[in-house]
Amino acid sequence: MNKTLLFAFIFIQSFIDAQFSERSLSSEQWQFKNTKDHTWLPAKVPGTVHLDLMQNRIIPDPFKDENEKKVQWIENEDWEYRTVFKVSSQELENRNIDLVFHGLDTFSEIYINGKKVATTDNMFRTWEIPVKTYLKAGDNIVQVKFTSAVQAGKERAKKVPFTMPESPRSFVRKAQYQFGWDWGPRLVTAGIWKDVHLNFWNQARLKQVRIEQKSLTKQKAELNIRAEIIAEKPGDYILNVNHRSQKAALKQGLNVVVLPYRINHPKLWQPNGWGKPDMYELSVILKQGSATVDEHFQKVGLRTVELVQEKDEQGISFYFKVNGNPVYIKGTNWIPADSFSPRITKEKYQKLIRDCKEAHMNMVRVWGGGIYEDDEFYKACDENGILVWQDFMFAGSFYPADELFQKNVEAEVKDQVERLQNHPSLALWCGNNEVDEAIVNWGYQKQFKYSGEDSVQVWKDYRKIFHEVIPNAIKKYAASDKTIYWPSSPSIGWGHKESLTEGDSHYWGVWWGEQPFEVYNEKVGRFMSEYGFQGMPTIETTRSMFSVKPDLSLDNAVIKAHEKHARGWEIINTYMARDYKIPADFIQYNYVSQLLQARGMQVAIEAHRRARPDNMGTLYWQLNDCWPVVSWSSVDYLGNWKALHYQVKRSFENQVILPEEKDDVLNFYVINDELKTFENVSMDFDILTLNGEKKGSARTADTKNLGPNGVLKLDPFSLEEIIGDADRNEIFLHVMLKDAKNHVITERNYFFSKPKDLKLVKPNVRIKNISPTEIEVSTDALAKDVYLMGDTHFSDNFFDLLPHTSKKIMLSKPLEQIQVMTLWDTMH
């Protein structure tokens, strides 16, 4: 080797050594076994024991047939995972080698070459273990031994002198929905559910980069880039942020370096509906001399989010201001997109969040019974302008507050706040889902015969975790003192009248209380963070419940097993009988159950939106499913839009006409959620018969401006005048909002009676193929609730088609043949 080459080699060598580097161990050949067994079987990391057992054909797919029952034994067993990985002598020369588990589910002991290096007890934490002294050049073995979370929970439960509801789930820091929910199977998993890495580093490493937004105006954004650096070698370093650099004299151990960073004339991150969610790229590089020691890349969105709670005539306001403007929140509740969360793909996250965007949403609530979602979820929210209401993972039970539990929760909050807070989408942290509500309203104390002392303890523990431990941890670890923390969703249970005058509210009088949908018109809170109604999944997803040829009937045991609410079918039938003719045919029943769900949610959403600004947000329960199931979701497990999602898209439009029938008059509200003005708008009204005859028409006398965040309320119409001597079951109203150039901004149909009372005329619906992925649907008489059937995504579906009109529809993939159903078919 000549001299220059040798020099170059040494230079490159030291350059490489100087840098922090990361090596994934997930792609190694992993194995697993029941601790009682001797044979090791191939496993996948990240993954979970159920998936590995399925892969090895030891258990059937729990989502199919009635297999859920057959796999319950798994939760009581202990499981071991292991892999052999090579470490080169060169790698061993690094001064620091850390083994990092980004998620272990849940109670485990970790061994390297037979020596125990750590124990874990929280699925939601990251475990970083210094392992250099345990490693050798050549083959090394890592073993992770999991003990049953159910058994560990039972042990912990023994230490509490009273029975906790749904014990032992609340004793374990693990996704609570795995213990079974009213939409989810019981599948208590174990395993290495997130990536595993080996990190090699020498001088120093960037432990964490926090973006602190000091101020934001039209002229400039003032940021502090705050880097936490662990230095092994003290000395002079340089911190580089997008080519701006600052010297840093680092001491050994943890250092905090803050670099002020200004952006002139910043482009703001705007929520969906208000413009683009602009973001800036930031590269943070730690250097020594000219050598890079560690680097971190980050996108930054500039926006302000405030939660405004002020006393007013109704009580206390509850609304978000984004970038200085009040924003009407439209959105939904998110549950984990699979019972086996490691198999949720990036594409699935992206698709579900795009579904939200397409339906004009601007917020998703990550519900507290699931998981802190994968980075990809928050990335998708950032990119699509979807704000995130983030619950901490506690739901619908009582939680202990012994010292160990407190410490564990604080560490969890730290890990998650540090991981997620740089996302511009993250708007609010909420302590829990329905834990306050469970303690105050669900009567567990009586059910489990608590003494007065026990009840006091429960409330004390509650205060400890949700009013001390969590908010204190947020204060300590959050980038801003403006970080919003809300202790519990809802803040007040739906049985109390204050739930409608302050805080956020879950209204379950409809469904759980079996009140008619119309009650939604009265029960409007300041911010509706939950309300919902079940509908069946699409036929494609229903078929996927079977491992054999599906027998599609309501009595089928498999279909029955895919409804987890004890009275689900009964409640659906009760409501269906109120508004629809209950079909005997399965496909028709499936269709009507979806229409029913959509109808209920339409009533709720529109009542909420009409009540603006007293009400400033509506999040329906729930967006998605974790398996194929009859549930409150609008998008089913396979990603198909149920009738509800199409309806939500219509009801959430940024400009809408919202009718309200009350005391023999018809009111019309016109709403604009955007920040622009529509000048000189007018409204056209047509009264039509169901077979297309025009009975009358009218136009608003003068034009008006529909301002930003604007509401126009028209003078009421007398119902008697509109209907005249016509039969209210034979006519409907078609209303259009037009701009100054007579372009339709939005339109709306209004029916004067329930679907079951409509005297529908048999429509002759025709489908013309325009191209393999585009069709034109036309009709003579009114086609109510046109349902285009087939395994493709239709750009619109479950819509009303006006008499003598047609509509173009795009298909996500071509279909051989498209069948159509309309409401008429279910009545004849």
Binders of ligand BMA among residues 505 to 524 (CB under 6 A) are: 506
Is 170 one of the binding residues for ligand BMA (CB under 6 A)?
A: no
Residue 98 or 391 with smaller CB distance to ligand BMA: 391
Instruction: List the one residue from 176, 421, 433, 488 that touches ligand BMA (CB under 6 A).
Output: 433
Verify binding: residue 530, ligand BMA, rule CB under 6 A: yes
**Polymer length in residues for the chain:** 828
Catalytic residue at 222?
A: no
For the CB of residue 358, give the shortest distance to ligand BMA in the complex, in Å. Answer: 24
The catalytically annotated residue of 434, 437, 502, 653 is: 434
Q: Mark out the alpha helices in 56-167 (DSSP H runs).
A: 89-92, 149-157
Residues 601-630 that bind ligand BMA (CB under 6 A): 621
Which CB atom, from 519 or from 665, has the smaller least distance to ligand BMA?
519
- Nearest approach, Cβ of 446 to ligand BMA (angstroms)? 21
Using the rule CB under 6 A, give the single segment among 33-41, 176-184, 589-597, 755-763 that binds ligand BMA: 176-184
Does position 488 interact with ligand BMA (CB under 6 A)? The reply is no
Least spacing, CB of residue 180 vs ligand BMA, in Å: 11
| Interacting residues with ligand BMA between 382 and 401 (CB under 6 A) | 396
Residue with tokens 């060169």: 90
Q: How far is CA 48 from CA 54, 106, 194, 263, 393, in A?
A: 10, 11, 9, 44, 19
Q: Which residues of 29-61 are buried (b: 16+ CB within 10 A; e: fewer)?
A: ebbbbbeeeeeeeebbbbbbbbbbbbeeeebbe
| Binds ligand BMA (CB under 6 A): choice among 181, 378, 668, 794 | 181
Contact present, 671 and 655 (Cβ < 8 Å)? yes
Neighbours of 502 (CB within 10 A): 20
189: preceding bond cis by omega (within 30 degrees): no
Reduced to 3 states (helix: H, G, I; strand: E, B; else coil), residue 115 is strand
Q: How far is the CB of 126 from ligand BMA (least distance, A)?
A: 27
* Cα 195 to Cα 24, 97, 129, 174, 192, distances in angstroms: 7, 16, 14, 17, 8
Examine residue 642 and tell whether it contacts ligand BMA (CB under 6 A).
Answer: no
Q: Which helix (H) or strand (E) holds 213?
A: strand 204-216
> Which of 9-17, 158-166, 175-183, 581-589 is the region at the interface with ligand BMA (rule: CB under 6 A)?
175-183
Task: Give the three-class secondary structure for 242.
Answer: coil
Q: What is the closest distance, in whole angstroms, from the C-beta atom of residue 512 to ligand BMA in the complex?
A: 7
3-state secondary structure of 266: coil
Nearer to ligand BMA, 622 or 826 (CB): 622
C-alpha 252/C-alpha 236 separation (Å) is 11
Regarding 182 and contact with ligand BMA (CB under 6 A), the answer is yes
Distances, alpha carbon 579 to alpha carbons 572, 583, 662, in Å: 11, 12, 19
DSSP helix/strand/coil, 521: helix
Shortest spacing between CB 496 and ligand BMA, in angstroms: 15
SS3 (DSSP) at 44: coil
> Which residue, 273 or 568, has its beta carbon nearer to ligand BMA?
568
Cα–Cα dist 482/541, whole Å = 43
- Burial annotation 520-546 (CB, 10 A radius, 16+ → b, else e): bbebbbbbbbbbbbbbbbbbbbbebbb
Please identify, among the stretches 178-186, 220-228, 353-361, 607-615, the one whose residues bind ligand BMA according to the rule CB under 6 A.
Answer: 178-186
128 contacts 97 by C-beta, under 8 angstroms: no
Residues between 747 and 786 that touch ligand BMA (CB under 6 A): none
Q: Considering the complex, state which of residue 562 and residue 734 has its C-beta at the smaller distance from ligand BMA.
A: 562
Q: Which stretch binds ligand BMA (CB under 6 A): 116-124, 146-154, 177-185, 461-469?
A: 177-185
- Based on its alpha-carbon atoms, the radius of gyration of the chain, rounded to whole angstroms, reads 29
Among 105, 391, 415, 434, binds ligand BMA (CB under 6 A): 434
How many residues interact with ligand BMA (rule CB under 6 A)? 9
Nearer to ligand BMA, 205 or 506 (CB): 506
Per-residue binding string, ligand BMA, 273-312, x by CB under 6 A, is: ----------------------------------------
Report, in Å, the least distance between residue 506 CB and ligand BMA. Answer: 5
Kindly list the catalytic residues.
434
Q: Which residues would be at the binding site for ligand BMA (CB under 6 A)?
A: 181-183, 396, 433-434, 506, 530, 621
